[in-house]
Structure 1
Amino acid sequence: MMNKIVGNVIRTGAIVLSVSLGTMMLGGCSSKTTAKADGEKKVTVWAGGSDNVRIQFEKQIDQFNASQDKYTAELQFITSGTGAQGLFDRVVAAKKAGQSNTDYDVIELGGDEISRYVEEGGEDFFVTLDKSKIENIKNLKVEASFRNDLVVPYRGTTVVLAYNSDTVPEPPKTTEDLYKWIKDHPGRFAYNTPGSGGAGGSFVTTSVYNFMDESALTSTDPANKEKWNKGFDLLKELHPYMYKSSGKVVYPNKNQGTLDLLANKEVDMIPAWADMAITQIKNGTLPDSIKITQLSLSFTGSAVSLGIPSIGTNQDGAYAFINYMISPQAQNTALDTMAAIPVIDFSLLDQELTKSIADLKIDEFRISSLGDLGSQLYEQWDREIGTLE
């Protein structure tokens, strides 16, 4: 009998203790940790590309999570060149399969990718943005390259002219000046094969399309191929003046190939991605004598954006993350970690960080969106320029 009474007392005490603890957690305990656990919702951010993009996003997500208690962002990153299915293919396949409530809450898009997503996934692929939910948009100085109603730009990227200021005290200011400089300084200029990297691709594209209407740069009309002749004649004319090794013209492989030539002082000038050049100057891979400048007409570039797929689960969290990414804190972080060109008012940024990009005019970036014509352009270069002696 006594054992039964003791057992009941113990059970009763356990129930009371359990209820008391529950009451403390629900009511009496108002700690930040508990509030966060109750109100938190995960927002998944998807991006892809090179390692510098991943590093930037990891830092941004850490800062976003530390800045507020309502949402927790998580990164899903697809590194380029790994053979993994690309982000575009994954999200479009999910949409076409009729999936909903997926973890595709926010995705990063390159300059003209928005057009591909809408073309493949439908006009309802992205949420039409309610910009009243993006408070920091008031500081935005750049519009998205395409479909400003569906995406918000968060960083800029462009190809620039990188040069050795010790040997080139006054760099060319226009494309015509550049072509003249190349002819006046045989062997001191290089660009990589267009199919191996965007810097060389931009040089070839602008060399050809500068002879055409500006609207052609964002057209996929096959008829434009008939207007490529003047540009290819120019590239053939410049060919003998390019960088040489063992007496033969050499077009380096990949964007890094030309940067290595510039670093080793084998050439004095190259087209290069702004973020790659700035980052390598900063970390000492390129010497301090290397500078960058933006031509008129400029090489091609674009704004990289963020969008909210309609098949995601946390639109409010997605808006919060996008709003953070165009805050001064996030813009400083993108500039510091990967030399990303800010898209908000520069006066709101760390002035020491902006010194390296002070001469770049993002409003003068030229956008290229050629579709399959881009690949055909590079293939024609391989046949007509890459095979020249």
Structure 2
Amino acid sequence: MKRKISYLLLVFLLLSACSQASTSERDWTKPSWDEITSEAEGTEVRLYMWGGDEGINQYIDEWVTPRMKENHGLTLERVPMDTPEILQKLQTEKQAGKQEGTIDLIWINGENFKNAKENGLLMGSFTHTLPNFTDYYDTNSPAFQTDFGTAVDGMEAPWGKVQFVFHYDSDKIEDPPASFEELHAWIHNNPGKFTYPRAEDFTGNAFLRHILYAQAGEPEDIYGQPLEEERIAETAQHTWTYLNDITGDLWRSGEHYPNSLTELDRLYSQGEVWMTMGYNESRAESLIEEGVFPESTRSFVMEPGSIGNTHFLSIPFNSQNRPGALTAINEMLSPEAQLAKFKPKYWGENTPISFEKLSEEMRKQFKTVERGKSVLPPEKLEKSFLPESEAAYVELMREQWFNEVVQK
């Protein structure tokens, strides 16, 4: 009898192990969508993402998370962490041979996607599996085919798109600069009232790339070409000259640069500087509503243009809950989730969804959203839009800024 019980226990343990292995190692892009969502029900999905924007955090916590629970029985856990740290965690797990990871879903794009793809840190192609991507997005859009010059290959799903703008206090600045040349003059005429985040920060690095674009003969000389340092040497030198020339008139005479956009926003909200900036044309609205930014906050872009990009959701190579991750991404790409994200109450960012694929009622709901006084008209944003350069430029600006500006 004891031998029989032991045998049954062994069989049970083996079946459990096989079931666990099938869930974590199975190719979940093959089953039907109903099977995927059925497997996801009642599970937990751990979403690792940058947590530096309270409006974005509130959107996840107050809108997305309850909807996941209501529609799919999923428990979504948001884990705030800078993306490079997320990739380092995944790299450590990969080197240790850890196939049962701690991360199910990540928010990613640009240089981080390039690094994750090249180091085998992602699950693989999955976007063809998602009904909402197929039904509501232009799957052949160039914006979804490459990410900062890196082929996407279906390894990340488009979650949103943003465009870089500058914010200013219209009670203090009547006419904001119309070009980077005018910004140069404005900084000298208003010492201590402008600064930018360090090049290690995503926003600070984008500011530097705007200067690089402005110093080139044409912006396309940068974003339309692979990085060749010799080819852009003169343009880069003009960039460092520009930045060194304004240093003495920056906040604290350039002796300290904000470590993050959050720090720059705080300086702006306290009136120490009169401008801030960011990769979301409508992000100021929630901050105005919360009383963080003054009601007089408005936004502007400058010649030769404003850099914009698409950002994505992806699944790590060792996600323990791939059905849950796929279900969560599909839900976050839905028209309803995109509409809630489009509204200024939480995030207010633009959407990569294809309006022509939406129902007439859903299109009407998008069109009637009032994005707020601080948001530039769509026509202005579209006219000024500039594509991202390849990811290698991000690293170049980070390294050279420290050598050419900080250490000067």
Q: Same fold (TM over 0.5)?
A: yes
Structure 2 CA distance, aligned partners of 1:40 and 1:263? 43
Displacement of 1:223 = 4.1
Deviation at residue 80 of structure 1 after TM alignment: 4.5
Per-residue deviation at 1:174?
3.6
Q: Which residue is 2:330 aligned to? A: 323
TM score, norm. by length of structure 2? 0.68
2:353 alignment partner AA: I
Contact 1:281 1:290 in 2 (8 A): yes
Matched, 1:230 2:248: no
> In structure 1, what is the Cα distance between the partners aligned to 2:369 and 2:168?
22
Q: Verify the 8 A CA contact 1:163 1:269 in the aligned structure 2.
A: yes
CA distance in 2, matches of 1:257, 1:58: 23
Q: Which amino acid aligns with 2:238?
A: K
> 1:47 and 1:244, CA in 2 relative to 1: closer, same or farther beyond 3 A?
closer
Residues 335-386 of structure 1: CA distance to partner in whole angstroms, max 9, x if unpaired? 43234443335745374453454536479254252353233122124446xx
Which one of the candidate residues 151, 157, 164 is aligned to 1:147? Answer: 151
2:215 is matched with 211
Equivalent residue for 2:313, pick from 306, 311, 328: 306
> 1:1-389 residue pairs with structure 2 within 5 A?
40=41, 42=43, 44-50=45-51, 52=54, 53-59=56-62, 60-68=64-72, 72-75=74-77, 77-80=79-82, 86-100=85-99, 102=101, 104-121=103-120, 125-131=122-128, 133-140=130-137, 143-144=143-144, 145=147, 146-148=150-152, 149-182=154-187, 185-187=189-191, 189-195=193-199, 197-212=201-216, 214=220, 216=222, 221-223=228-230, 226-227=233-234, 228-239=236-247, 242-243=249-250, 252-254=257-259, 255-274=261-280, 277-335=284-342, 336-344=345-353, 347=363, 348-349=365-366, 351-352=368-369, 354-355=371-372, 357=375, 359=377, 361=381, 364=385, 366-368=387-389, 369=391, 370=393, 372-383=395-406
Distance 1:269 1:371 in 2: 23
Q: Assess, with a 3 A threshold, how the Cα gap between structure 1 residues 63 and 87 changes in structure 2: closer, same or farther.
A: same
Asked if 2 retains the 8 angstrom alpha-carbon contact of 1:157 and 1:301, the reply is yes
Query: Which has the larger displacement, 268-277 or 158-167?
Result: 268-277
Distance 2:102 2:137 in 1: 27
- What root-mean-square deviation, in Å, do the aligned CA atoms of Structure 1 and Structure 2 show? 3.8
Query: Residue in 1 aligned with 2:20?
Result: none
Structure number with larger C-alpha Rg: 1
Structure 1 stretches of 5 or more lacking a match? 1-35
CA drift of 1:307 comes to 1.2
**How many residues end up aligned between the 2 structures?**
339
Q: Which runs of 5 or more residues in structure 2 are unaligned?
A: 1-36, 356-362
Kindly state the Cα deviation for residue 181 of structure 1 after the two structures are TM-superposed.
4.2
- CA displacement, residues 292-343 of structure 1 (integer Å, 9 cap, x when unaligned): 1233434545332111334335444333221211223322443432344433
Does the C-alpha gap of structure 1 residues 98 and 267 become closer, same or farther in structure 2, counting only changes over 3 Å? closer
SS across alignment from 2:298: strand
Deviation readout 1:55-98 (Å, 9 max, x if unpaired):
433331221221235xx2432514449xxx93212223334444
Q: Deviations over 1:177-217 (max 9, x none)?
A: 4345445x332741235247444433233213433464645
AA aligned to 1:128 is S
Measure the CA separation in 1 of the matches of 2:204 and 2:318. 37
Name the SS for the 2:371 alignment partner.
helix
Query: Aligned partners of 1:86, 1:199: CA distance in 2, in Å?
Result: 17
Matches of 2:127 and 2:81, distance apart in 1:
31
* Deviation, structure 1 residue 272: 4.0
Q: Report the 3-state secondary structure (helix = DSSP H, G, I; strand = E; otherwise coil) of the residue aligned with 2:341.
A: helix
Provide Cα deviations, 1:105-128, integer angstroms capped at 9, x if missing partner.
Answer: 432213331110111127xx3321
Q: Residue 108 of structure 1: SS of its match in structure 2?
A: strand
Q: Percent identity?
A: 16
Deviation of 1:41 (Å): 5.1
> Quick check: 1:201–1:378 contact (8 Å CA) kept in 2?
no
Normalized against structure 1, the TM-score is what? 0.71
Instruction: Tell me if structure 2 keeps the 8 A contact 1:220–1:371.
Output: no
